[in-house]
Structure 1
């Protein structure tokens, strides 16, 4: 099935690189970056929130990693339409590469990897008392936001939107469409898991109405500015897509590894919500939290199919990995046990899938040849 609005998005991406940079004026200055060469400090590192390029790095030698295998990784990335790639250890840059004409201060679409931003923002809105994820969606969108009866609408909660379990019909011609006529009844909430974009997109309106503020403004105030990100959500068709630099995506990865705290400043202090967000949120798809993809589970489901698959989502990756995964292989991997954040932005490696793809397992096969774990 083809989705014309996302195809439209893909045709606009090159234009939005320059457009976003000029409109936000949030590109970073070029200054020398210090390098940690002898050892890796135990404390987590947080890059300054000022608009500079200052960011500590750490050498492969200091980590005891196999730098000889890096060329094979870079060749693989280049051959698979990669624009930007970053590896962080304890917040410090180990590897940062840009390909073709793409530069450090260029903005790229996160696509569905941006769902993680919305998930964390939902938790912040809940901790501030603006909503509860157990509330009905109708509480914030009003009656008649769908084609369901009022009784059917009242059964759908914010948590259903976060977990892809609304029961809305995902077989409609365009399941990105958020118009009421596209939102039809198929199943009872919590009875089926399906990667349905429209209910997720409506979370933006739920949050905006709950906090009585523009969605971009609230996101900027609560997440973007406190951790020094740049970029913005841009409405394209039915989709609200985040554009930023690869380094800004890396900052969000650090925030996740630090469980919602940025250099002593608490961004998300609801530990229960954070834990639920990065763990199995329901039994229908063990590999899905609150809009987060989870590795190391016994089974998983994928977008665009009702099938269930046995085994781990990314067999080559650490079991505790959780991720933001977007169309055309936008990747934000976070591995708490290894203090790793890994970012990949670019075009589709091979398959134009909405989230997980074979690219995940291939890249982790190469990463495993580089990243050497210390002996306990």
Structure 2
């Protein structure tokens, strides 16, 4: 009996350690973090990971067909794919659009952990009253957390994305309606008031410079939009993949990270704190009150959380695979939403790399 067990165990070990067997070690090795300065960034090849080289060109062809400017995959922090299209390069800045909302999320968490704000407090505690055109009793219902979760109740259709006080009118009581709106940007004003620093100064010192990003905030479409290189977007994705830590430095505390990347309210299960969440049982989309069944990106990993911006600016983060995927460019199709059929087709082609 013991001999039989020995032979079975030996056979099992031989099969699993043989040259043709390629166990996935990506989830057990430590993450790599690139230096804060310079262009050095460690890489891994498709063959290093045991991925399917034949799936690479169809993916690149699709990205180019769909008006992409850049595409980057990190695994454990290492660059596995980095491709540029249509005259774009590693040193070219491009806008994040609404994918940059998640930068505001991170700074909100940092300001809270430093004791400057409390996200459960009223926005008017920091900005004063009349920051909206709502009746005072309705305005006083709106907390910073309502801005983080898109549940402020402010009118989201009639006044467009304008955020001047006169355009911030009442639609519903805070916390009772999920609706996508640029009013979240008021959190930047909250942070500036609470810290006594400009938004740019606080952002640069507490986040950008600590993880080696480049970039700048610029006004665009009634909003403050971030522009950076693709690698800088990937640096932020790597920070979030590691739950707010950069090497051994806690930039954003893990408890806030966890709250930001899980369902934040019961109106849109696929929304955290300005992060989109895959793998939930239902979701809602911008400019709509319809609820759809199933996962936002059916062929995407269920544990994926996402920063999604106009014209298909994407940060996909997949903890189970220790993977960050970045796409920057023009709109994949004629429509310009943060989410489109492009996402699911793209993930079918990404899946082909490692399935």
- In the superposition, the TM-score normalised over structure 2's length comes to 0.91
Match of 1:63, SS state, is: coil
Tell whether 2:105 aligns with 1:122. no
2:184 aligns to what?
200
Map 1:22-171 onto structure 2 (within 5 A): 42-50=29-37, 52-171=38-157
Contact 1:162 1:291 in 2 (8 A): yes
Tell whether 2:349 aligns with 1:366. yes
Give a deviation string over 1:88-107, Cα, whole Å, max 9, x none.
10000000000011111000
Contact 1:69 1:369 in 2 (8 A): yes
1:258 equivalent among 242, 251, 256: 242
- Give 1:202 shift: 1.2
Match of 2:279, SS state, is: coil
- Give 1:84 shift: 0.4
1:189 equivalent among 148, 151, 174: 174
In structure 2, stretches of 5+ residues that fail to align are: 1-24
- Give 1:237 shift: 4.7
Tell whether 2:206 aligns with 1:219. no
2:232 aligns to what?
248
Bigger mean CA offset, 56-65 vs 41-50: 41-50
> Hey, what's the Cα distance between the residues in 2 that align with 1:201 and 1:53?
32
> Hey, what's the Cα distance between the residues in 1 that align with 2:143 and 2:335?
30
Cα pair distance change 1:80/1:260, threshold 3 Å: same
Give a deviation string over 1:127-186, Cα, whole Å, max 9, x none.
000001001010111111111111111100000000000011112232x11111111111
1:320 equivalent among 289, 294, 303: 303
* Structure 1: 4+ residue segments shifted above 6 A: 38-41
Cα pair distance change 1:192/1:73, threshold 3 Å: same
2:293 aligns to what?
310
Match of 1:316, SS state, is: coil
- Give 1:371 shift: 2.1
Give a deviation string over 1:17-70, Cα, whole Å, max 9, x none.
xxxxxxxxxxxxxxxxxxxxx9998121000001x2100000111111001111
In structure 1, stretches of 5+ residues that fail to align are: 1-37
- Give 1:351 shift: 4.3
Give a deviation string over 1:304-352, Cα, whole Å, max 9, x none.
1111100001110110000100000000000000000000000000143
- Give 1:272 shift: 2.0
Cα pair distance change 1:310/1:266, threshold 3 Å: same
> Hey, what's the Cα distance between the residues in 1 that align with 2:26 and 2:206?
34
Cα RMSD after superposing both structures: 1.4
Larger Rg: 2
> Hey, what's the Cα distance between the residues in 1 that align with 2:226 and 2:190?
18
How many residue pairs match? The answer is: 331
Give a deviation string over 1:239-269, Cα, whole Å, max 9, x none.
1000000000000011001111101111012
